[in-house]
Amino acid sequence: MNRRNIVITLVVGASIAMGIETSGAADAPLATATFAGGCFWCTEAVYAELKGVKSVTSGYLGGAVPNPTYKDVCTGQTGHAEAIEIEYDPAVVSFQKLLEVFFATHDPTTLNRQGADVGTQYRSGIFYHDDEQKRVAEEVIVKLNQARVFPGPIVTEVTKASVFYPAEDYHQDYFAKNPYQPYCQAAAAPKVAKVRKVFKDLVK
């Protein structure tokens, strides 16, 4: 685990110790988390690895056009982000742990860009479903910035979740179905490998 991953773990862990953590009872219902961190093939592949994650759906949200298609979103004109909707068991994996993985597996300091993928559809975002998720996300971002974990300030937007539109069927489980596709090999595979190495205790 490199220094950045250690600091992310410590910062998020400190937030939990300060009372931000919401412990889940054994019979707690499933919760929803929605993140955008670049191409959804990558983010979906990352979270599919984790214990307690029951489903991950790739899709679009945050825009003004109803029922957008992939072609629409790729124009960058609809306002949507490529995002994932995670259904998870909070008794097994907390929202804070999901955030820890989120900040460790993409660059939250590049505005509307992840690597060679450029456009508002590739922005970094946390789309909260309740006030607690909002509070936790904002607190973690402040602490990561204060700790100077990244070379620049975090530009991740923290916005109330709007209508989530599932992407076309061929986008779902894309990495699992196409592990040797060139983009997957270049972008998704390294992130999955990182999760398996850095977050061994969270992996299924």
Phi and psi at 171, nearest 5°, equal -85, -20
Q: If we measure between CA atoms, which residue out of 84, 36, 86 comes closest to residue 58?
A: 84
Can you tell me the distance from the alpha carbon of 138 to that of 187, in angstroms, rounded to the nearest whole number? Answer: 27
Residue 113, Cα to own-chain centre: how many angstroms? Answer: 14
Sign of the four-CA dihedral 197, 55, 36, 190: positive
Instruction: Tell me the catalytic residues.
Output: 39
Q: For the chain, state the CA radius of gyration.
A: 16
